[in-house]
Amino acid sequence: MAELVYFDADADAEDVLKVLRSDGACVLVDAIGKDLKSRVCDELQPFIDATPSGRDDFTGKLTARTGALVARSKSSRELVMHPKVTELAQKFLEPHTDKIQLHLTQVINIQPGQGAQPRHRDRLAWPQLPSEIEPQFNTMWALTDFTEENGATRVVPGSVNWPSDRRATDEETTQAVMKAGSVLLYSGSVIHGGGQNLSDLDRTGVNITYCLAWLRTEENQYLSCPPRVAKELDVELQEMLGYTLYGYALGYFSDPDGVTEVNDLRPPEFALDRSPRTKASSTALITD
Q: Is residue 278 part of a domain?
A: yes
Answer yes or no: do 174 and 73 share one domain. yes
pLDDT at 278: 64
d(CA 66, CA 9): 26
What pLDDT score was predicted for residue 285? 53
Question: What does each of the 288 residues of the chain score in pLDDT, given as a tens digit?
Answer: 679 999 999 999 999 999 999 999 999 999 999 999 999 999 999 999 999 999 999 999 999 999 999 999 999 999 999 999 999 999 999 999 999 999 999 999 999 999 999 999 999 999 999 999 999 999 999 999 999 999 999 999 999 999 989 999 999 999 999 999 999 999 999 999 999 999 999 999 999 999 999 999 999 999 999 999 999 999 999 999 999 999 998 999 998 888 866 678 889 999 999 999 865 444 455 444
Helix (H, G, I), strand (E, B) or coil at 82: coil
C-alpha 117, offset from chain centre: 18
Sheet holding 174-175, edge to edge: 174-175, 154-155, 192-193
Q: Tell me if 209 is assigned to some domain.
A: yes
> 187: domain CATH number?
2.60.120.620
Answer yes or no: do 195 and 268 share one domain: no
Question: Do 17 and 146 sit in the same domain of this protein?
Answer: yes
The residue among 167, 186, 221 that closes a domain is: 221
Query: Could you tell me if residue 229 is inside a domain?
Result: no
pLDDT of residue 287: 43
Residues 48 and 125 in one domain: yes
Within this chain, do residues 24 and 136 fall inside the same structural domain, yes or no?
Answer: yes
Task: Tell me: do 56 and 191 sit in the same domain.
Answer: yes
Q: Tell me the residue range of the domain where 131 lies.
A: 6-221
Same domain, residue pair 95 and 164: yes
Other Cβ atoms closer than 10 A to 259: 9
Sheet with 6-8: strands ordered across: 6-8, 25-29, 183-187, 136-142, 203-212, 100-110, 63-66
Q: Of 221, 239, 271, which residue sits at a domain end?
A: 221
pLDDT, residue 258, reads 80
Are residues 119 and 156 located together in one domain of the fold? yes
- Please tell me whether residues 211 and 272 are part of one structural domain: no
Q: How many domains does the chain have?
A: 2
What residues pair up with 63 in beta bridges, in sequence order?
A: 110
Does residue 101 sit in the same domain as residue 30? yes
**pLDDT for 192:** 98
The reported pLDDT for the residue numbered 2 is 79
Give backbone dihedrals phi and psi of 24, rounded to 5 degrees, phi first: 85, 0
- For residue 275, the 8-state DSSP code is -
Within a domain: residue 231?
no
Query: Domain check: are 175 and 263 in the same one?
Result: no
Same domain, 212 and 276: no
Domain boundary among 205, 221, 237: 221
